[in-house]
């Protein structure tokens, strides 16, 4: 899952956090900045459309709360569904430390049996981050996520990108593995590959549209961050911020989607898209 980003405290927001800023710690921000920008914009639009400052968010596979806790600090109510008891324990501890335990609920479950632990049609926004790589049926996982949305709802989908893995293996000199990932139906480079499945943009947008949503936006995540040697970023003055700006600039360009480590798709119901 993505790294945590703690929002600053401000009197501008009734719950203590302004829209503009979930502050970004070094390096971690490179992995999550693009997703946060898109997600915050979606949250703002739903708040404006509903007139409710506190939205109901479902975070499937939310783990220890890397997204859930910052969202709760923004004032939203977040339900995290995750199969790992250890992750949920860490979520509880993190929420308590952030003083948002009253707005974060963790329940044990998975995407396949989502409605054993979550309500249908009860959420303004559903996060499905780092889940589709591991489920047996990605289409079912997306359909369940969509079924959890209210009529005017938004799906945030984040999954591993095929092209980024191929490029990384090739640049590391593992050309046979790069070719294998390119040709494998699941995008795997071998038996030692820790990721069970990767996706192209067409595959992810097809899943979203097949579940009845409109694709609102597609972004490439970690286009350059995983390829640039850390020593260059850590030792060159201003390099981290410059790389972050480059990531944000490239994220929306289709030409770079095919080499991103992760792909982010924002899906909207027809009612939300027209709001």
pLDDT tens, residue by residue, 225-250: 888 877 777 777 888 888 888 999 99
Q: Name the residue with higher pLDDT: 241 or 97.
A: 97
| Residue 274 pLDDT | 63
CA distance 211 to 269: 10
CA 189 to chain centre: 23
pLDDT digits 0-9 by tens, 114-148: 999 999 999 999 999 999 999 999 999 999 999 99
161-164-170 Cα angle (round to 5): 145
CA distance 163 to 265: 16
| Residue 275 pLDDT | 61
Rg of the chain (C-alpha set): 18
Residue 1 has pLDDT above 80, yes or no: no
Mean residue pLDDT of the chain comes to 87
Residue 235 phi, psi dihedral angles, 5° rounding: -105, -20
pTM of the model: 0.86
């Amino acid at each position: 899952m993505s790294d945590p980003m703690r929002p600053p405290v401000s009197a501008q927001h009734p719950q203590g956090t302004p829209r503009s800023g979930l502050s970004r710690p070094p390096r971690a921000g490179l992995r999550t900045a693009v997703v946060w920008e898109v997600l915050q914009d979606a949250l703002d639009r739903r708040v404006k459309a509903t007139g409710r400052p506190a939205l109901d968010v479902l975070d499937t596979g939310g783990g220890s709360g890397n997204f859930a806790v910052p969202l709760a600090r923004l004032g939203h109510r977040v339900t995290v569904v995750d199969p790992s008891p250890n992750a949920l324990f860490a979520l509880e501890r993190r929420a308590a430390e952030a003083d948002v335990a009253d707005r974060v609920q963790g329940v044990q479950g998975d995407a396949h049996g989502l409605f054993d632990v979550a309500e249908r049609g009860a959420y303004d926004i559903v996060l499905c981050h780092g889940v589709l790589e591991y489920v047996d049926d990605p289409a079912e996982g997306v359909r369940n996520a969509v079924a959890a949305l209210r009529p005017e709802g938004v799906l945030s989908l984040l999954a591993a990108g095929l092209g980024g893995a191929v490029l990384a293996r090739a640049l590391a000199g593992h050309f046979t593995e790069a070719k294998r990932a390119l040709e494998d139906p699941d995008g795997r480079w071998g038996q030692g590959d820790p990721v069970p499945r990767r996706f192209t943009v067409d595959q992810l947008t097809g899943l979203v549209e097949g579940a009845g949503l409109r694709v609102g936006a597609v972004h490439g995540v970690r286009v350059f961050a995983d390829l640039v040697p850390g020593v260059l970023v850590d030792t060159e003055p201003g390099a981290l911020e410059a790389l972050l700006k480059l990531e944000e600039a490239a994220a929306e360009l289709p030409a770079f989607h095919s080499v991103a480590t992760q792909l982010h798709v924002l899906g909207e119901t027809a009612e939300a898209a027209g709001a």
